[in-house]
Amino acid sequence: MKHIFIVNKISGKKRGLKTVSIIEDIMQKHHYDYEIHITQYPTHAKKIAAKYKKEADVTIYAVGGDGTILEVVNGIEEGIPLGIIPCGSGNDFYRLLGSDNSDLEKIIEDTIDAKTVWIDYGISDRMKFINGTSLGIDALVNYDASSMIRKTVFDKNSAY
């Protein structure tokens, strides 16, 4: 099995990019077959994920936040396992699973060794989604809070 890491280099104030060395250390320590792809532009994660087919015996890991997961989910072929390494500013989906995202090394090792669990995803008129979707004021508050987190000194808790 090959492990494919799709890293969003700007997620979580570049936390995703800082995770690359941790991934490399773990993969080399265990002699796993792996590739690391670093996204270069919006929708790049989707294009990278779409290159892999189920027959290739791969697991794809989204290294970033909810936006990275969204892109990978929309590029990945059904039946390919998806691992999530939370490196975004909010990591709402990861937190929804009831997981702690403070120790990245442990998260990476646990995710690689994890049992595959099937989850449902939704489909809107244009794309798949696994987190949630909202309209109206909730969507506006989320948009504004995300902007505040990225562009100012607000942390993720006080922005909301």
Instruction: Give the pLDDT score at 101.
Output: 60
pLDDT band at 155 (very low <50, low <70, confident <90, very high): low
Instruction: Give the pLDDT score at 133.
Output: 64
Q: Does residue 90 contact residue 35 with C-beta atoms inside 8 Å?
A: no
**Neighbour tally for 2: CB within 10 Å:** 13
Asked if the model's pLDDT at residue 132 lies above 70, the reply is: no
Instruction: Give the pLDDT score at 14.
Output: 77
3-state SS, residue 142: helix
Residues 6+ apart with CB under 8 A from 141: 160
What is the distance between the alpha carbons of residues 33 and 46, in angstroms, rounded to a whole number? 22
pTM: 0.81
DSSP 116: P
Instruction: Give the pLDDT score at 115.
Output: 87
Q: What is the pLDDT of residues 17-50, one digit of tens each?
A: 889 999 999 999 999 999 999 999 999 999 999 9
Q: What is the pLDDT of residues 50-100, one digit of tens each?
A: 999 988 899 999 999 888 999 999 999 999 999 999 988 777 777 777 776
Q: What is the pLDDT of residues 108-130, one digit of tens each?
A: 999 998 888 888 888 888 888 88
Instruction: Give the pLDDT score at 159.
Output: 52
